[in-house]
Chain A
Amino acid sequence: MEPQPTNVERLTKVMELQPLGKRHLFNNIVKVVSSLGAALGLAALLWILFTVIHKGVGALNWNFFTALPTPPGIEGGGLGSAILGTLIMTALAAVIGIPLGMLAGIYLAEFGRGTKVATAVRFVTNILIGVPSIIIGVFVYTLVVAPSHTFSGYAGAIALAVIMLPVVVRTTEDMLSLVPNALREAGLALGTPHWRVILNIVFRAARNGLLTGVLLAVARVSGETAPLLFTALNSNYWLHSLHEPLANLTVTIFSFAMSPYADWKSMAWGASLLITASVLVLTIIARLVVRGRSKARS
């Protein structure tokens, strides 16, 4: 086997090939290209945000937030029921997904540290995060919708909870792992039971990080569409019961955008603006919470 060239050999070979002027020229080209790349990424973000604001802001009015959808061509319709439905399903998903995810995260970070079980669970968690959300929709359809013979708000909330769960597990574990061991040892040395050390000391120390994780998980599911298509479906009416199809913003965007009616499309843009703004605000708050903590520490 030939010996691998060392870094210095590799580097000097790269450098010797060309005269200095050419090297600097090429370097500048690379600089321009990579700056353009970053600018392109920023441009894409701004283009999307501008579009959503430009097209969506006109649709927002009092009725948009309070009324039911109207047939095409009739003024005064709104997405009140869809906004309510999205809020309810996201909240219900959070109530299921966050405690379960935090408990699993506690196991990984506190009790299972270094064990094979924890490694395996962590591995599966990371894979579950990557499972497409539409597959979760199919799964919940077969598990909940098909046996109960009806699309329902419950099914939608369960699908969102399944998507949320692994995200919460991972951030909980990450955040608890950042807490210095000395804190745990100090608590245990005082004779505090381990579970109280975790809930009263470690959790308090990791509070901001955990809050960030929760906000990001909520932000992620509140914009989900695919898992709701065959679980919650959609509805044109106010919520009667969670055992029925439930109106929600994202599926409404999908069906209104695909319709031929200008006023429905405009409503879809209004809903897009609402969803985008909520998700981005949640994400930015989550980032500020983390930044606040790191500043307080330094």
Chain B
Amino acid sequence: MKSTRKTARRKGDSTFKGITFAAALAIPLLMAGILVELIRNSRLSLAEFGLGFLTSNVWNPVSGQFGALSSVFGTAMSTAIAMVIAVPLGLVIALFLVELASPRVSAFFGTAIELLAAIPSIIYGMWGLFIFAPFMANYVQPLFQKTLGFLPLFQGPPLGIGILTAGIILAFMILPYISSVTRDVFGMVPVVVKEAAYGIGATNWEVTRGVTLPYSLRGIVGAGFLGLGRALGETMAVTFVIGNNHHISASLFASGNSIASTLANEFTEASEPLYLSSLVELGLVLFLITVIFQAAAQGWLWSIRKKLAT
């Protein structure tokens, strides 16, 4: 009697373990499935254009010529602008939250900035197109042209929409990721070491510069990677404000496109198999880029944690 109960129990346990194991395996399978489906459905375009797909700037659905260059360029530029703004801003915000603000103020600002991450992408798009783009066109872009207008980066009509506006909105979207991870790594700096530094008369900035930053540099790089991964694939906000055309321009005021915005705009219109296949290949490119960056970020953060643990 006892032994049958024991075997029944074992059976229950092994069944349950099997079910959870199968569920866990679903995730790598899903990942592999995405890769296989993207490759399978872009084979037409892969065969037609080969590696030239990445270096060609022709995007002509009528003549059936497709190249990814302008989309890749727009993705890279808007992400770069976002990083240039969000990384320093995220750092000073984390500094404020950890070193300067009282716990109450820190909790309030910390929550407010994290709520920025909760706002859906399409809301950034609405705000970006109807509020922020006109603001850029009326105030920010004329200011740039007055002061830095001799640079090719800031030439052309200040329309509000374009790569610069997309990059700035992306910066606000990834800011919470960067500031909250940075705040966490700042918080991991041993308090004793910081107090020792304060004890020999160092100011807030000197403690940050001499203790906190060296300690958390690797964590900050990891936070940057996470933000980068987010910015690369952001779709709706960028689609609303980037202007959506397949041109590459030196000016940040010019409209362009990104891989994600091209997909969002054209996928349902693609009637020719080659057109659709080229769009899927664009998706494949974006998938590979983001997976590489995410994997690098995960590996990097993991190695830090391991180092801190030992």
Contact = CB atoms under 8 A, between A and B. Distances in A.
Instruction: Determine chain A's interface SS by DSSP, over half rule.
Output: helix
Contacts of B20: 103-104, 106-107, 110-111
Contacts of A225: 120-122, 235-236
B199 to A, nearest CB: 11
Interface string B194-214: 000100111111111111001
Contacts of B19: 103
B12 interface: yes
Contacts of B9: 193
B287 A135 contact: yes
A169 B25 CA distance: 12
Interface centre among B30, B109, B119 (most CB of A within 10 A): B119
A276 to B, nearest CB: 5
Contacts of B291: 127, 130-131
Contacts of B118: 219, 279-280, 283
A94 to B, nearest CB: 16
B30 A128 contact: yes
Interface string A22-64: 0110110011011111101110110110011001000000000
Contact of B26 (A100, A250, A254, A265): A100
B280 A138 contact: yes
A226 interface: yes
A225 B120 CA distance: 8
B120 A223 contact: yes
A287 B23 CA distance: 27
Contacts of A219: 118
Given A14-B206, A142-B40, A257-B240, A250 B24 contact: no
Contacts of B267: 137-138, 141, 229-230
A275 B119 CA distance: 9
A41 B28 contact: no
A162 B30 contact: yes
B112 A42 contact: yes
A269 B233 CA distance: 24
Nearest to A49: B119
B113 to A, nearest CB: 4
A254 B27 CA distance: 31
Interface in B118-136: 118-127, 129-131
A296 B151 CA distance: 59
Interface stretch (B87-95, B153-161, B249-257): B87-95
Given A31-B100, A135-B233, A142-B40, A128 B23 contact: no
Give the size category of A's interface with B.
35 or more
Given A142-B41, A229-B264, A279-B120, A107 B235 contact: no
B206 A226 contact: no
B92 A37 contact: yes
Contacts of B290: 130-132, 135
A285 to B, nearest CB: 12
Contact of A195 (B16, B96, B125, B127): B16
A48 B123 contact: yes
B109 to A, nearest CB: 5
Contacts of A230: 267-268
Given A166-B27, A257-B129, A287 B111 contact: yes
A244 to B, nearest CB: 15
A121 B34 contact: no
Contact of B113 (A45, A166, A229): A45
A15 interface: yes
A271 B290 CA distance: 30
Interface stretch (A4-12, A65-73, A178-186): A4-12
Interface stretch (A75-83, A112-120, A204-212, A235-243): A112-120
Interface of A: 7-8, 10-12, 14-15, 23-24, 26-27, 30-31, 33-38, 40-42, 44-45, 47-48, 51-52, 55, 100-101, 103-104, 106-108, 110-112, 117-118, 120-121, 123-128, 130-139, 141-143, 146, 162, 165-166, 169, 193-196, 198, 219, 223-226, 229-230, 233, 250, 253-254, 257, 265, 268-269, 272, 275-276, 279-280, 283, 287
Given A41-B175, A224-B120, A224-B121, 19 more contacts: A12-B200, A15-B201, A27-B204, A31-B100, A38-B101, A42-B109, A45-B113, A45-B115, A47-B131, A51-B131, A103-B24, A107-B23, A117-B24, A124-B31, A133-B235, A134-B283, A196-B12, A226-B235, A253-B122
27 contacts: A11-B210, A30-B208, A31-B205, A34-B92, A35-B100, A37-B96, A38-B101, A45-B113, A45-B115, A48-B123, A118-B24, A123-B295, A130-B291, A130-B293, A131-B287, A138-B267, A138-B279, A143-B33, A162-B30, A193-B9, A198-B16, A226-B236, A226-B260, A250-B122, A257-B240, A272-B122, A279-B118
